[in-house]
Copies of this chain bind each other. A is one copy, B any other.
């Protein structure tokens, strides 16, 4: 009844923004992401008969706020197994938490994989992803490495992750960390406000489906410029949709705009560099790994070394030896 697992964060190239089913976390549009090698969460679970309550220790500290979600998530698996045993969860994040670097994605994916092993449930990754989805939407995609689609589906069994490509064709990302603090408006609240007040939201979801098809074709062509260009248009459309809410949601910070302007300038100089911002201030740059040194050296003229992180594609989530 113990196991340990590792899952990597992912950054969407076609964004997820808005739920069709709030409780089951079924999205309004399918999304597609790159799992990143540089960010991951290690999670140890122990279903222990001696525990009176579930416990959650994140980076060495008790986290009662997230514990509520984790208990609810563990209940899904306890129900399958027909047990009521409490669980002790210990997670170590190798991700700046809640700064738009998708720590909840790697977190819930690692937790799902660890529970699946601890309880001997033997779910395959696709089925497991439908449970992980109910912990955190974007975590769905972190069960696989490389490029992963989250098919929106229509119910809890077909809204799942599908592996697309291992992405070993020079595709990479440079992340500029603008703000490590927790963002002021959570994705959940931001999505809801956008759906309720933006005149553009319906079109956003519709248009994403077109972007996704174009993205899959660009991936099959291993065309990084095209992948980047579609990703940037999709990401900025998401930010545009938020900005058209009433009142507007603006996740960009002044320094985010500095990074965006640098990306535009680099591109004008011939580098492959495209913006893929999530709902937060940090700027992700889709690039060729072989050009990442050049991109990093430009960014260092404005940002500190520790604000800049390069990543290639990460692996599937997996069980760690204890």
Contacts and interface: CB of A to CB of B under 8 A. Distances in A.
Interface of A: 199-200, 203, 207, 229, 232-233, 236-237, 239-241, 243-244, 246-248, 250, 252-258, 260-261
Given A248-B232, A250-B260, A257-B252, A237 B199 contact: yes
Given A200-B203, A257-B250, A236 B243 contact: yes
Given A254-B255, A254-B258, A257-B252, A236 B232 contact: no
Contacts of A239: 243
Nearest to A230: B246
Given A200-B203, A237-B243, A241-B244, 20 more contacts: A199-B203, A199-B207, A199-B237, A200-B244, A203-B203, A232-B247, A232-B248, A233-B247, A233-B248, A236-B244, A236-B248, A237-B244, A239-B243, A243-B243, A250-B257, A253-B257, A254-B255, A254-B257, A256-B257, A257-B257
Closest 9 CB pairs of A and B: A254-B254, A240-B243, A240-B240, A240-B244, A236-B248, A254-B257, A233-B246, A237-B244, A200-B200
A179 to B, nearest CB: 12
Nearest to A260: B250
30 contacts: A199-B203, A199-B207, A199-B237, A200-B200, A200-B237, A200-B240, A203-B203, A229-B247, A232-B248, A233-B246, A233-B247, A236-B243, A236-B244, A236-B248, A237-B243, A237-B244, A239-B243, A240-B248, A241-B244, A243-B243, A250-B257, A250-B260, A253-B257, A254-B254, A254-B255, A254-B257, A254-B258, A254-B261, A256-B257, A257-B257
Contacts of A260: 250
Q: Which of A243, A252, A253, A260 has the most CB of B within 10 A?
A: A243
A255 B236 CA distance: 19
Contacts of A250: 257, 260
